[in-house]
Structure 1
Amino acid sequence: MEHSRSRQDSGRGTVALTDEWRLPGFTELEQLGEGTFGRVVLARQDNTGHLVAIKYLFSRFAADPAYLTAFRQEALALHRVSSTHVVRLYEFFETPQGAAIVMEAINGVSLRAVLQAEGALEPEAALAVLKGSLLGLAAAHSVGVVHRDYKPGNVLVADTGESKLVDFGTAVLAGELGPAVGTPAYMAPEQWAGGQATPATDVYAATCVFFQCVAGHRPYQADDTEVLRTLHEHAPIPFGEAPGPVHEIVALGMAKDPSKRPVDALRFVGELERVARAGYGEDWERKGWSRLAKATGLLAAVTPLALLGAGTAAAPGVAAGTGAVAASTGGIAAGLKIAIGVVAATAAVVGSVVVFSDASTPPESPPTTQQAVALKVDMKNRTGTVPGTNLAYTGDYPEVAGSTDQAWLKRVNDALTAPIDEWNRKTGPGAAKLEPERGPYTLITKAEVRTQNERYLSVRYSHDLANKPHPTWSYGRATVTIDLKEGKALTPAELFAPGKFTDDGLRILSERIWPDREQCGPVSTTFPYRPIKAADLTDERKVWLAFTPAAVEVTVNMTDLGFSTACAVQDYSLPYDKVAELLNPDLVAGMTGGKPLKPTSAAPPAQGLTDVTVGALTLHLPPGWTAVPQGLEKVIVDSSCPDPKKYFNCRYFLVTDNTKESAEQPTYRPGELYRRSAGGRACNAAGRKDLRQEGDATKTISTTAPIGTATATYEEWIVNCVPRGQTGGSGEAQVTQRIWFVADRQIVVMDEWRTPGVDELLRTATVS
């Protein structure tokens, strides 16, 4: 056993070292950090000269099975996860004297150090860091690994223009105070409650860190751990303190209910990219990394690898100064004697055993489905020219890799790129005829992963056209659901239970989607009720189904179904318990993990009351109150209105299910005015139908208020009313908007009339 001793660390102070076992064959160059249970060092492999980071478990814990098991599990997690956004494992050694994880050494600095130096980051920079580390989480989630301790100290900002995730065992090794797993400042409500960690748990922590990056402080702050727990479990999501364009990301990722968050990191990446493009432009990521380079430059110059002339360094796992572990010089596995499983000591490493390495198989039983370990799903982009035309196209699609069966891979990936080809083939010739007078056009396809697990991959695609004739026009959709066990895309008929893919079965589905039969306004000769038919899912597709772990998502092209263009393309989400008897039972079980379906049906209304349900909200209306459909929302008209069908001159309020949108009725953006109409809302409440709510606006109140058992953010805005076509300025009249928003359930309530009784109706409402 080698003996360590105190030494003077030039410019860094004295590092107190105790008697500790060191891995033979390596020369320690720098201690990067130390925690209660372990330390991380920068070292050089003697026979190759390669630089590595070595994480040691202190020798005094080498005989403790609990600490050894936790340390080994961290190495196993790193072994399973393969991604350029995760620090790479080279070797894991275990001996009677101690244990060590040998990893790549990353040229970069920790996000924690960056935030300590900068306070806050510009939104594009924070989004860029978040995206890279989320891709690292996605790689972990794809093989069943949940990080459980995402925090700034575990994210490295590398000099290669990417961020990396490190330390899959920090909660144990670093000796953090608080609960056994996780860091209290970033722990999801289900972690505090002792629930099972899921990928959605990592999404919550990542969003908390993102909030800290843009706001300059943690989302919830308290010295007492129990107070902090209460805040994470019950306090409103502070999305209003973040820049406006990223409110949606914060509200979505920090939802209290894990089922309301993106199901995993890959799904969250899709949401992030959509919001980033909308808020900061197509080149947001380039701008973000450019700004990060400025923020990290001085820090990188004083890290150990920089001082050694090899770039910069960062140390995973244990906090220390500006460093964080890691980065790769490569080739380490070739320089070590590799052994599979637990073997006897070698001459080179006296008294030690090698448990496993990068080239070996971990000593545990593999999952029953080989694909669950091997498969990786990455989002790709394809660009080119539509065949037979001069039109450009760009298409996003998921690509599956990792199988040795090339025929299997081709079937799956051909199915995942088919929506791009179908959109180009369907739209390209017609768009080409309009050029150059109406163009130039670019055909666009965006993809979103709705579910990714060991059995199924469900993807939803949205098609669009750059420079389209009318900015509010929306185009078709597509969905692909892959059975990864069979290696094939499921046909529409295979999505349904036996005997249910019929016009009768689709009629029942239609009744679940539109219980009031109002598909695009009140039923009339203009808007007759048209149930979906089986042919609508097969011939000239008008209806598509995608699947999440909680619900089936139904997309309907209302225009192709026979309605006006204003009805556009509409999306609906139906919990599985409402439609389970219609769907393929194996598919539902695979999507939900075989968990029992939780009923969502509401109790019968109380005597004398009329129940009106919009999304997750059910209002119990007293006699005289009326609910009038208005596109995708409900207008709740005060009982004093003489003619509820002509409610525009009466007092009323609006209730919106924010999960639904169309070109004419975009979603509400948290922390902003309510603009459910793409053409601008009229100033009815001010008695000026000729004016629009497009003038200057001032938020006068920001607090919380109850809606049933939920807590909503509550805001009041003074909005200036200006002539149509004018934006900004002080108008000829004003209205006061009152807005309630329950982020977890995506419920929006808006009142501009100070309608009497609204507060009581919301207090007594039911939120499912």
Structure 2
Amino acid sequence: MNDEWRLPGFTEIEQLGTGTFGRVVLARQENTGHVVAIKYLFSRFAAEPAYLDAFRQEALALHRVVSPHVVKLYEFFETPQGAAIVMEAINGVSLRSVLQADGALEPEAALAVLKGSLLGLAAAHSVNVVHRDYKPGNVLVADTGESKLVDFGTAVLAGERGPSVGTPAYMAPEQWSGGQATPATDVYAATCVFFQCVAGHRPYQADDTEVLRTLHEHAPIPFGEVPQPVHEIVALGMAKDPSKRPVDALMFVAELERVARAGYGEDWERKGWSRLAKATGLLVAVTPLALLGAGTAAAPGVAAAGTGAVAASTGGIAAGLKVAIGVVAATAAVVGSVVVFSDASTPPPSPPTSQQAVALKVAMKTRTGTVPGTNLPYRGDFPEVTGSPDQIWLKRVNDALTAPIDEWNRKTGPGAAKLEPERGPYALLTKAEVRSQNERYLSVRYTHDLENKPHPTWSYGRATVTIDLKEGRALTPAELFAPGAFSDDGLGKLAERIWPDQEQCGPVNAPFPYRPLKAADLTDDRKVWLAFTPAAVEITASLTDLGFSTACGVQDYTLPYDKVADLLNPDLVAGVTGGKPLKGTAPAQGFIDVPVGALTLHLPPDWSVRAQGLEKVLVAPGCPDPKKYFNCKYVLVTDNTKESAEQPTYRPGGFYRRSAGGRACNAAGRKDLRQEGDAARTTSATAPVGGATATYEEWTVQCVPRGQSGGAGEISVTQRIWFLAEKQIVVMDEWRTPGVDELLRSATVG
């Protein structure tokens, strides 16, 4: 490997490993003495866009995922000669090495390792990243008593489809067929590794890959080969159907802790790490870092790419990604363009005169041509983004910005080509307007039309595209909304705010009754679009496509953010508004602190709080008698570490019962019925609670007569559930209580 490019400013100490596409080395930064790990892409792949883009995506995934259970990204360098990821160096050993040495682990030790790496996966899942290659070699057991997740080389955004990649021994059934990558895919792989830790062998073993695929897809789950207390963990995490597994790693952690406490006692984790230390002690003692006496490396200081080169960080690690793009001085060891991603605790110093920063530019362009398969001309406006040296990134962004033109042509062209020729000549038109633009977001609204259309009053479809410029991609309709809000219920609330008097097209008593919006209106044959300005969200609805008269056409509505902020993605709103306070969102004065375990809710003065056994009942404003709150809107908050015979603990992955005798259907106005019928989960997501991330679920529970278990009822209730797994705090709302989301966002988590 002597001909391989090396990052200037670093001295290699030892090669830690090689693969098909690159190598990992331990290195010391020359001007600071800090020890780091550097992952190099082999130079022969530096000119291959596909390999380079995959390597770059690994660095971006590492940047997005911030957790003490994920190896830290320090810097990413990209040059014509090669590319390198500079990472935290961990004084520890891979779980693969531990298993090779010991064969198997005691259950408590295996649970402790699994919990730490699951928390790393949970951090990835919280930012929509799926790892796709969880295996023993990608879990490091550190001498600090924690496990860390490494190697995001195959990571993708949740929901993406792709080729079957991963390690066959741990691949989920849906992964073999190139199905959607979801957090549940990682849960399956983590469970397979856990099985191997306690059983001493992989759950399915075969020399032939196709045989292994058949086993993963169809063979019974071998949970009987692990100790009885962890049967449930293996059966749950290795379910063939991804919808039957915990929806993400955070929910799986909650199940793991419940099972571990029940099977191995409250101090299971301490015992686990103590026993693991015995298994790893000798291995860690002879790692390169231990022999150097370096311990876990600190963040590098100034990363220099040769004399007069880019200085991209000044020491430490920060949450934000700094991007420097420039040209290195002629005396530098690296000549040509250099891209540096750097996590730095302070902003980088002013760049040298030889480095000229490149800013993104947006300019309106017009594209013309003929609709494929017809003689019909088209003319479409679109904003074009330039200024990035990353051609793949630019293509992805600009393809998204021109997609509305292509969709309009494809959808309308064949029909328009058949119109009466005497009314022509016809042409398909698309106009574009930039509604907001800053360093993070670009939101564009498109208006479609037909030149010489048959009737001058006819209006046609619209489209919107909102680009996340940091990630270089268009946001999906679901990503425009707050967690849990992209649902029929959430869109119904949006409709209530657009049409508070329910007059969508004419009076309420018109031939067209009020129709709440649904999530499918933004995904299947689009009928509703959202664009974002610095002051308001703009909603466009094709009332004709929603089932109203053709005379209703396409209508535009504008809502200030303070009217809809609870329904929208908070990061998006903060990004397009520049983080300015929204009108009407300041907290009320004189609030009351309500502590529940590690959670403290800051309750506005017009709310009240009551005790109901182990639950705190938060009664919403407007209740005539808060002491008799059963017919009022209220929220239940409980510490899941406590239980009694009458109030057993909440079980994550199911609806909220926490009552030995069943709960009455108060929210449905039926105290005579109990929430003991069939239950179905309709929403799975994450949501902010204080500064933490909670799992968020919605369940529809059938109300049945007392004594009946299961089955359909004549009425149902819908539960909204927030669960902080690490703190074991549960919040449940059955009334769609106004203000709950903001109440939870403003809470404090200790």
**TM-score, length-scaled by structure 2:** 0.51
Q: 1:224 to 1:337 in 2, by over 3 A?
A: same
Q: 1:295 to 1:476 in 2, by over 3 A?
A: closer
Question: Residues of 2 paired with 1:210 and 1:88: CA distance?
Answer: 24
Q: Which digits, 9 at most, give the CA deviation of each residue in 1:581-618, with x for residues without a partner?
A: x979xx99xxxxxxxxxxxxxxxxxxxxxxxxxxxxxx
Report the Cα offset of residue 368 of structure 1.
4.4
Counterpart for residue 297 of structure 2: 328
Picking from 269, 291, 294, the partner of 1:285 is 269
Q: Which digits, 9 at most, give the CA deviation of each residue in 1:300-349, with x for residues without a partner?
A: 011100111123xxxxxxxxxxxxxxx43124467771262532225655
Counterpart for residue 472 of structure 2: 365
Counterpart for residue 100 of structure 2: 116
Picking from 238, 241, 250, the partner of 2:234 is 250
Q: 1:477 to 1:223 in 2, by over 3 A?
A: closer
Structure 1 residues 4-23: aligned runs within 5 Å: 17-23=1-7
**Count of matched residue pairs:** 443
Aligned 8 A contact 2:676 2:710 in 1: no
Q: 1:531 to 1:108 in 2, by over 3 A?
A: closer
Question: Residues of 2 paired with 1:406 and 1:288: CA distance?
Answer: 47
Q: 1:574 to 1:546 in 2, by over 3 A?
A: farther
Alignment pair present for 1:35 and 2:19: yes
Counterpart for residue 194 of structure 1: 178
Using the aligned pairs only, state the percent identity: 66
Counterpart for residue 549 of structure 1: 684
Question: Residues of 1 paired with 2:89 and 2:37: CA distance?
Answer: 5
Report the Cα offset of residue 196 of structure 1.
1.6
Structure 1 residues 560-709: aligned runs within 5 Å: none
1:101 partner amino acid: I
Question: Residues of 2 paired with 1:148 and 1:226: CA distance?
Answer: 19
2:91 partner amino acid: N
Question: Residues of 2 paired with 1:191 and 1:418: CA distance?
Answer: 39
Question: Residues of 2 paired with 1:409 and 1:186: CA distance?
Answer: 49
2:217 partner amino acid: E
Question: Residues of 1 paired with 2:29 and 2:611: CA distance?
Answer: 58
Counterpart for residue 497 of structure 2: none
Alignment pair present for 1:204 and 2:188: yes
Question: Residues of 2 paired with 1:278 and 1:573: CA distance?
Answer: 30
Q: Which digits, 9 at most, give the CA deviation of each residue in 1:268-315, with x for residues without a partner?
A: 11111111111111111111111111111000011100111123xxxx
Counterpart for residue 519 of structure 2: none
Q: 1:180 to 1:192 in 2, by over 3 A?
A: closer
Picking from 327, 344, 348, the partner of 1:344 is 327
Counterpart for residue 474 of structure 1: 647
Alignment pair present for 1:136 and 2:270: no
Question: Residues of 2 paired with 1:426 and 1:542: CA distance?
Answer: 25
Aligned 8 A contact 1:459 1:479 in 2: no
Report the Cα offset of residue 153 of structure 1.
0.3
Q: 1:444 to 1:349 in 2, by over 3 A?
A: farther
Report the Cα offset of residue 161 of structure 1.
1.1
Counterpart for residue 58 of structure 2: 74
**Highest relative contact order (Cα 8 Å, sep 6+), 1 or 2?**
1
Question: Residues of 2 paired with 1:369 and 1:376: CA distance?
Answer: 13
Report the Cα offset of residue 459 of structure 1.
11
Report the Cα offset of residue 49 of structure 1.
0.6
Q: Which digits, 9 at most, give the CA deviation of each residue in 1:69-115, with x for residues without a partner?
A: 11111111011111111111111111111110000101211000000
Structure 1 residues 134-213: aligned runs within 5 Å: 134-169=118-153, 181-213=165-197
Aligned 8 A contact 2:675 2:701 in 1: no
Structure 1 portions without partners, runs of 5+: 1-16, 173-177, 312-326, 378-399, 431-442, 446-457, 481-512, 514-518, 522-528, 589-768
Alignment pair present for 1:220 and 2:204: yes
Question: Residues of 2 paired with 1:114 and 1:376: CA distance?
Answer: 39
Q: 1:171 to 1:39 in 2, by over 3 A?
A: farther
SS of match in other structure, 1:202: helix
SS of match in other structure, 1:310: coil
Question: Residues of 1 paired with 2:213 and 2:651: CA distance?
Answer: 42
Q: Which digits, 9 at most, give the CA deviation of each residue in 1:601-643, with x for residues without a partner?
A: xxxxxxxxxxxxxxxxxxxxxxxxxxxxxxxxxxxxxxxxxxx
Question: Residues of 2 paired with 1:235 and 1:127: CA distance?
Answer: 24
Counterpart for residue 382 of structure 2: none
Counterpart for residue 676 of structure 1: none
Q: 1:259 to 1:297 in 2, by over 3 A?
A: same
Picking from 82, 89, 94, the partner of 1:105 is 89
**TM-score, length-scaled by structure 1:** 0.50
Structure 2 portions without partners, runs of 5+: 157-161, 305-309, 313-321, 348-439, 441-468, 485-568, 617-634, 686-696, 722-750
1:553 partner amino acid: W
SS of match in other structure, 2:323: coil
Q: Which digits, 9 at most, give the CA deviation of each residue in 1:659-684, with x for residues without a partner?
A: xxxxxxxxxxxxxxxxxxxxxxxxxx
Report the Cα offset of residue 369 of structure 1.
9.2
Q: 1:348 to 1:227 in 2, by over 3 A?
A: same
Report the Cα offset of residue 462 of structure 1.
6.7
Report the Cα offset of residue 460 of structure 1.
8.7
Question: Residues of 1 paired with 2:187 and 2:258: CA distance?
Answer: 16
Counterpart for residue 356 of structure 1: 341
1:94 partner amino acid: E
Question: Residues of 1 paired with 2:198 and 2:134: CA distance?
Answer: 17
1:337 partner amino acid: A
